[in-house]
Amino acid sequence: MTLDELEPGQECYVVKVNIGGVIGQRLLDMGFIPKTRIKVIRNAPLVDPVDLLIKGYHLSMRHSEAKGVEVTLL
């Protein structure tokens, strides 16, 4: 499954980053590497963006970007 499918409160591990280019590189730089634990905190009122907790910090991203992150539920 992909990161955009998770509901607030759910946790997962990163399996793979499926997007390349600038966004893919940025995700890798920010810690989206396999086996990294992520918790979905909440969605914005109009769904986008989504607030995540990764490696001890909060990160907001679009669902379209989260779709590029393959994860497995905790």
Give me the residues that bind other proteins (CB under 8 A), please.
21-22, 25-26, 29-31, 55-57
**Smallest distance, Å, CB 64 to other proteins?**
19
Q: Provide φ and ψ at 20, rounded to 5°.
A: -105, -160
Peptide bond into 49 cis (omega under 30): yes
**Smallest distance, Å, CB 31 to other proteins?**
5
Q: 7 or 29, CB closer to other proteins?
A: 29
Check if the beta carbon of residue 11 is closer than 8 Å to that of residue 72.
no
Tokens 């590497």 -> residue: 33
**Smallest distance, Å, CB 36 to other proteins?**
10
